[in-house]
């Protein structure tokens, strides 16, 4: 298990981390979320010793992380960390050798991951000749080539087309199914909700929400109400109390309301006022929870 325990980090007058704490469990995929500048990358770099916190500790399996421990980690930075003129296969083989594989093992692992990620026919292409999305796949392969116990990925889905997203998501699901831990940052909250078991949300250096995605949604004090109807909707909305937010998208009113809201009364008023085209009352989406947490 990876433990982020009470991390503080200041850069001059800027507080990057302000007591951040969360855990990543074995065989789980955790989405690490937050607005730009919230402290995600600083936290990730702290895991690899690229940033030294002013206070707090990062632990793996209950112990402080050592250089030897980090050899069993895989890291995918947001900014490209590849050699542009090196061939894709040679690059992955080199990364495998750095992490302790012998030449035969590293070469075989490079072939396996290139095939898995749909790049077998580009093994001899220099990285700079690959598309942005394919470079992203090579970057992921570089993080996986030594079969790490923990993967830390900074915006791994950035720039991928839908097929690329599906491929990468399947790879990460397979890794967690084998007991490995994955933590990745992303601004694609719908995707995080689809594939992650757990989330941690950071805002201004503090963890403001963390836990199992389904349990967080079920336990939230808010619910999502969507209404679309013919005729005026003002009288329907006037029956509502405890509205947290409201927006209109393509004629559909989307509201965040208190979980205790009596929706039967709302539906009855909607049916009395006009024909109801769409009426949904459900738990909030991860995007809804994120907005509430960082507001």
Task: Let me know whether 213 and 88 are in one domain.
Answer: yes
**Of 217, 244, 278, which one is at a domain's C-terminal end?**
217
Structural domain range at position 229: 220-294
Average per-residue pLDDT for the chain:
91
Spatial distance between the Cα atoms of 281 and 223, rounded to a whole number of angstroms = 7
pLDDT category at 27 given cuts 50, 70, 90 is very high
- β-pair partners for 243: 257
**Of 196, 217, 238, which one is at a domain's C-terminal end?**
217
Task: Let me know whether 173 and 130 are in one domain.
Answer: yes
- The distance of Cα 106 from the centroid of its chain, to the nearest Å, equals 29
Mean pLDDT across the stretch 82-110? Answer: 94
Mean pLDDT across the stretch 120-149? Answer: 93
**Of 194, 217, 240, which one is at a domain's C-terminal end?**
217
Mean pLDDT across the stretch 177-200? Answer: 93
| β 181-185/198-203 pair status | unpaired
Task: Let me know whether 224 and 108 are in one domain.
Answer: no
| 164 neighbors 196 (Cβ within 8 angstroms) | no
Task: Let me know whether 129 and 103 are in one domain.
Answer: yes
Question: How many structural domains is the chain composed of?
Answer: 2
Task: Let me know whether 134 and 146 are in one domain.
Answer: yes
Spatial distance between the Cα atoms of 28 and 180, rounded to a whole number of angstroms = 7
Structure confidence at residue 221 (pLDDT) = 92
Residues above pLDDT 70, as percent of the chain: 100
- β-pair partners for 253: 227, 248
Please indicate whether residue 240 or residue 58 has the higher confidence score (pLDDT). Answer: 58
Tokens of 161: 């087309």
Question: What's the pTM value of the predicted model, to 2 decimals?
Answer: 0.88
Task: Let me know whether 199 and 246 are in one domain.
Answer: no
| CATH number of the domain where residue 281 is located | 3.30.70.100
Per residue in 200-247, pLDDT (tens digit) is: 999 999 999 999 999 999 999 999 999 888 877 777 777 788 888 888
Task: Let me know whether 143 and 188 are in one domain.
Answer: yes
Structure confidence at residue 80 (pLDDT) = 72
Task: Let me know whether 90 and 198 are in one domain.
Answer: yes
Task: Let me know whether 202 and 227 are in one domain.
Answer: no
Task: Let me know whether 206 and 72 are in one domain.
Answer: yes
Structure confidence at residue 215 (pLDDT) = 95
pLDDT category at 71 given cuts 50, 70, 90 is very high
Task: Let me know whether 78 and 18 are in one domain.
Answer: yes
| CATH number of the domain where residue 82 is located | 3.40.50.300
Task: Let me know whether 104 and 204 are in one domain.
Answer: yes
């Amino acid at each position: 298990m990876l433990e982020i325990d009470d991390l503080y980090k200041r850069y001059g007058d800027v507080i990057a981390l302000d007591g951040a704490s969360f855990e990543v469990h074995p065989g789980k995929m955790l989405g690490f979320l937050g607005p730009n500048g919230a402290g995600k990358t600083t936290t990730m770099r702290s895991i690899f010793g690229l940033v030294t916190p002013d206070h707090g500790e990062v632990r793996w399996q209950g112990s402080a992380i050592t250089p030897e421990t980090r050899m069993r980690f895989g890291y995918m930075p947001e900014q490209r960390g590849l050699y542009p003129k090196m061939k894709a296969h040679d690059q992955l083989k080199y990364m495998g050798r750095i992490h302790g594989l012998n030449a035969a093992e590293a070469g075989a692992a490079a072939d396996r991951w290139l095939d898995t990620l749909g790049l077998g026919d580009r093994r001899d292409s220099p990285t700079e000749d690959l598309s942005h999305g394919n470079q992203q796949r090579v970057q992921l392969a570089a993080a996986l080539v030594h079969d790490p116990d923990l993967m830390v990925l900074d915006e791994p889905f950035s720039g991928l087309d839908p097929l690329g997203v599906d491929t990468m998501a399947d790879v990460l699901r397979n890794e967690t199914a084998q007991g490995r831990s994955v933590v990745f940052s992303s601004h694609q909250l719908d995707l995080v909700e689809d594939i992650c078991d757990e989330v941690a949300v950071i805002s201004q250096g503090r963890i403001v929400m963390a836990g199992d995605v389904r349990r967080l949604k079920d336990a939230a004090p808010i619910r999502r109400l969507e209404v679309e109807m013919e005729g005026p909707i003002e009288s329907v909305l006037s029956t509502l109390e405890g509205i947290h937010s409201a927006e209109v998208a393509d004629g559909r009113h989307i509201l965040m309301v208190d979980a205790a809201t009596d929706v039967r009364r709302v539906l009855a008023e909607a049916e009395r006022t006009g024909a109801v085209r769409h009426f949904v009352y459900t738990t909030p989406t991860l995007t809804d929870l994120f907005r509430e947490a960082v507001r």
